[in-house]
Structure 1
Amino acid sequence: MRPSLRSRGFTLVELLIGAAVGAVVLLGISLTFISQARQYQAHASRRAIQANARQALAFVGRIVRTAGYGVNPDRAVLAYDSYDVASDSAAPGFPDAVVVHWRDPLFRRPVQSANSTQLTLPATQPLSEPLRQGQILLVLCPLARNHAFVTVATYRNEGEFTIPLDSTLPAAAPNSPIHGPGRLFHEQDKLDSDTCFSAPGAQVVKVRRAAFYVATFDSDGDPATPEKTPYLMMNQGLDMPTDTQVQGDTVIDENDSVPVAEGIEQFQVAYLLNSNNDNPPLIRGVNESPMLPPTYYGEQWERIDPVTLGANWFFDPSIRFTDARRTADHPANLRQVRLTVVARSTVADPDIRGDNLLTATEGAPLPDGTVPWRQLENLGTPGSPDFTPSGGHFYRVLLRESITSKNLMMNAQFPPVSFLSSTPVGGG
């Protein structure tokens, strides 16, 4: 006789033990997955902010390298310390702004006649592309023996050959990164004082402008969540087209700016100036207080009296490199521009306090009071929390680059190629 076979299941205790073991395993897998996801998100945030910082520094650096091409050295690079775009003024703790000017090598036109209100081109060689309000033009006498920087007053379309000039007096011109060109580009009165601007061989070329500053914008448009994201912005000083108007709204302001890089929380500018007698280069983090000397706020940076030395003194061949004036605080003596950017993550991570890039001053200040080793240049007491590189549950990265623009060594104005050859006149 065969023994009977009876099936036997799991007891309640065995089921409970199995369920507990399975729960522990699933919990471990879940925690591992969550940890890996957080690490991935952290690394992704680090990579993103490094990419944003590199993008910002590369874009600005490429333009700074062109600074001064065909432009007088005193107006090639203009820095605005601690610039608050909301008030269009200096405010402690805000990022810096910098404005760069250079000549457009692809634009040149002969001038038939010129006066303080209008340039007239030959009817046979009108504009082939529009000129916008705020466009800077450089008018050159034959062989560039004299020159004048002027500004276009109103939009001019292709096919036109008269260019109205902005009649704003230099003293009334704006000194701002987000508005039209300043006093250094309102030399229209020169056109009345020298007949060479209307002589055969006179030419007009275009000068490009790029102003970089930091501004914040609502990240999601929801008023219930007022978090703001900082962006590095660029303003060309031109009245850009609107949704409804090709010619623009006739006002040059922050609405004419475009974003360059996301998450740029701080932007600091420093100058490296000439030196002689084996002295170390003078490093200037543009001063935070525009009310205290020396002043480095945009076009106000002129430590050498231009009236005493005369116009365009830096073109004077008698002022040699060893001359003490070549080491004074003046834009014509600038040899490098040092840029520092801080990029932060656009989304806060509640699991971290946030990186802190506000470090104490390292080393002793130089005799002039400058501390060149400070990681954030001249950034003093932080102002707005939107631009304070500390805490806030954000990841951050800092990048710095010193840029040499060979064009700042220019010692005379020069005519475009068409002056000296049979090359056809080109450009707009």
Structure 2
Amino acid sequence: MTRRPPSRFRRGFTLAEITVGIAIASIILLGVTGATILTTKAMESEFDIRRPTDDVRIGVGYLERVTRLAGYGVDPRVAFDFSVAVLPGTTKDNYEGGDFVTDDLAFRYRDPAFLRRGSLDETGATLTLDDDETLGVALPEGQALILICPGAEDFYAARLSADAAASATSANLVAYGSPFSAAVPGCLKEGTGAQAAYVTLLHDIRLRVMPLGGVPYLVALYGFGDPANTRYAPVARNVNDFQVAYEMNRPPPTLNADAPDKTSGNGNWILGDDAEDPLPNPTVEAPAYDTDYASTARFTAHPANIRGLRISISIFGDHNPEAARRSSFFAAENSTAAAKPDRFNLTVGTSVRLPNMASRTFFVPPLQQPGTNDDSNRWGG
């Protein structure tokens, strides 16, 4: 029997096959890695654009909503606050806080959704609500109130001297202070029922940029005390510029009145929109309720003549120089801020009309008892 020689079987790959396989695998891996890196960068870039865009949208939406209420239910002469004693740098215009530049916007309005009846004791320090009615909402110490006599013959501005629970039927008060009178009208102490005073909430809000945990935030401070107080709500983060300009009341073409910003050229009736402009000045002549519409007092730089706001806000991203090349940044109004060179920058401006600042107009929004056309503002403040 003849034995066949053993067959020769190929074992493994040749060097050429291995080299070609490695080369193909490397190309595929490089392609996948490159695509992953590019996708990650694109996602990071999109995130760095989307976050400041979201912050701007939220911030501008809040600004437009709350500033439109400025002057609601209060005398236009005290609707805006331009005192600087408690402000950093004692300035309302272009305060430089290191990583940010900020204007200061402070205003008052009456809460259109809160109305109670009550009376004060003889000292004016204790408010008791009528018919054992409760506040209905917890109010913190320092919350401002306006108490209005029946028939609106007089009023008194005060603050809570202690926290008040939602179930409270009384509250302790102290006088609000400047710019309101500290005298307590006697008509607020006259009794209950039809003689009871109207009790309304007064909101005083300050908007400015503050560092929170090292990050500049646009915040809404509740109360006109020290801006470092703890009663605030963050509105938008990474804000490096907040600018406010004031659109003043303009005369009709038939009246010859000088613009309050005439010193910076011919004047455009907008204060705070360039470096040489003054801000509204509460010490100049102010209009009253019965001041004629053609009077020069209605065209001065007094805050009572503010008719609109021009607001701009600049926000930067957290990182990503790729997105920085597609930034939108401009020095709005009289800003001294600069763009972040290694960040995505986005600046948005808006204009807000203030319908409650004309002293002869009715409060907006008009609230009334259903079916009673002449009973406006019986609901809410």
TM over 0.5: yes
Partner of 1:265: 240
Q: Structure 2: how far apart are the matches of 1:89 and 1:65?
A: 24
In structure 1, which of residues 96, 104, 107 is the aligned counterpart of residue 103 of structure 2?
96
Within the alignment, does 1:378 sit opposite 2:334 as a pair? yes
Residue in 2 aligned with 1:197?
Answer: 188
State the shift of 1:276 in Å: 1.4
Q: CA deviation at 1:302?
A: 1.0
User: Is 2:40 the counterpart of 1:37?
Assistant: yes
Counterpart of 1:118 (choices 117, 120, 125) is 125
Residue 27 to residue 84, structure 1, CA distance change in 2 (3 Å): farther
Q: Could you tell me which amino acid in structure 1 is paired with residue 320 of structure 2? A: D
Three-state SS of the structure 1 residue aligned to 2:50 is helix
CA RMSD of aligned residues (A): 4.0
Contact 1:143 1:201 survives alignment (8 Å): no
The answer to whether the Cα contact below 8 Å between 1:271 and 1:285 also exists between their aligned partners in 2 is yes
| C-alpha deviation, 1:273, in angstroms | 0.8
Does the aligned pair in 2 maintain the 1:117–1:164 contact within 8 Å? no
**CA drift at 1:52:** 0.8
> What residue in structure 1 maps to residue 205 of structure 2?
210
Alignment check: 8 A CA contact 1:315 1:411 kept: yes
CA distance in 2, matches of 1:79, 1:344: 29
Q: 1:302 to 1:121 in 2, by over 3 A?
A: same
Asked if the contact 2:324–2:344 (Cα under 8 Å) also holds between the matched residues in 1, the reply is: no
SS, match of residue 30 in structure 2 = helix
TM-score by length of 1: 0.68
Structure 1 residues 410 and 21: CA distance shift in structure 2, 3 A: same
Deviations 1:339-362, CA, capped at 9 Å, x for gaps: 1111221x2225566776664xxx
Quote the residue 1:149 is aligned against: 157
Count of aligned pairs = 350
Going from structure 1 to structure 2, the CA distance change for 1:238 and 1:128 (only over 3 Å counts) comes to farther
Gap regions ≥5 residues in structure 1? 171-182, 219-227, 240-250, 307-312, 360-374, 383-387
Deviations 1:95-127 (A, max 9, x none): 123223221233333343456642432563343
Residue 124 of structure 1 aligns to a residue whose secondary structure is: helix
- Residue in structure 2 matched with residue 188 of structure 1 by the alignment: 182
- 1:336 paired with 2:308, answer yes
Comparing 93-102 and 55-64, the one that deviates more:
93-102
Contact 1:70 1:103 in 2 (8 A): yes
What residue is the counterpart of 1:319 in the other structure? 292
Q: Residue 235 in 1 paired to residue 238 in 2?
A: no
Say if 2:346 is the partner of 1:397: yes
Q: Does 1:274 align with 2:265?
A: no
Is 2:282 aligned against 1:302? yes
Whole-angstrom CA distance in 1 between matches of 2:133 and 2:307: 38
User: Where does the alignment leave 5 or more consecutive residues of structure 2 unmatched?
Assistant: 254-258, 260-266
The Cα of 1:54 is off from its aligned counterpart by 0.5
Distance 1:52 1:84, change over 3 A: farther
Query: Which residue of structure 1 lines up, in the alignment, with residue 270 of structure 2?
Result: 283
Q: Give the whole-Å Cα distance in 2 for the aligned partners of 1:258 and 1:403.
A: 21
Cα 1:122–1:263, aligned 2, differ >3 Å: closer, same or farther?
Answer: closer
CA distance in 2, matches of 1:99, 1:238: 8
Q: What's the CA shift for 1:57?
A: 0.7
Equivalent AA in structure 2 for residue 349 of structure 1? N
- The one-letter amino acid paired with 1:138 is I
Larger radius of gyration: 2
1:248-259 superposed matches below 5 A? 253-259=228-234
Q: Residue 198 of structure 1 aligns to which amino acid in structure 2? A: K
What SS is found at the alignment partner of 1:151? strand
Conserved 8 A contact 2:87-2:227: no
Whether the aligned pair in 2 keeps the contact of 1:111 and 1:201 (CA below 8 Å) is yes
